[in-house]
Chain A
Amino acid sequence: KNEVEQSPQNLTAQEGEFITINCSYSVGISALHWLQQHPGGGIVSLFMLSSGKKKHGRLIATINIQEKHSSLHITASHPRDSAVYICAVRWQLGSQGNLIFGKGTKLSVKP
Chain B
Amino acid sequence: NAGVMQNPRHLVRRRGQEARLRCSPMKGHSHVYWYRQLPEEGLKFMVYLQKENIIDESGMPKERFSAEFPKEGPSILRIQQVVRGDSAAYFCASSPLNRGWKDTEAFFGQGTRLTVV
Residues of A at the B interface (CB closer than 8 Å) are 2, 30-31, 33, 35, 41-45, 47-48, 86, 88, 90, 94-104
Contacts and interface: CB of A to CB of B under 8 A. Distances in A.
Contacts of B100: 96-97
Interface string B76-117: 000000000000000101010000111011111111000000
A97 B111 contact: no
30 contacts: A2-B42, A33-B105, A33-B106, A35-B106, A42-B91, A42-B110, A42-B111, A43-B91, A43-B108, A43-B111, A44-B108, A45-B105, A45-B106, A45-B108, A48-B101, A48-B104, A48-B105, A86-B42, A88-B43, A96-B100, A96-B101, A97-B31, A97-B56, A97-B100, A98-B48, A98-B56, A101-B42, A101-B44, A102-B42, A103-B42
Chief secondary structure at chain A's binding surface: strand
A35 B59 CA distance: 20
Contacts of B48: 95-98
A104 B108 CA distance: 16
B33 A97 contact: yes
Given A45-B106, A96-B101, 5 more contacts: A31-B102, A44-B108, A45-B107, A96-B31, A101-B42
Contacts of A102: 42
A5 B58 CA distance: 22
A60 B109 CA distance: 24
Contacts of B41: 103
A4 B15 CA distance: 33
Interface in B33-63: 33, 35, 41-45, 48, 55-56, 58-59
Give the interface size class of chain B: 20 to 34
A7 to B, nearest CB: 14
A100 B35 CA distance: 11
B51 to A, nearest CB: 15
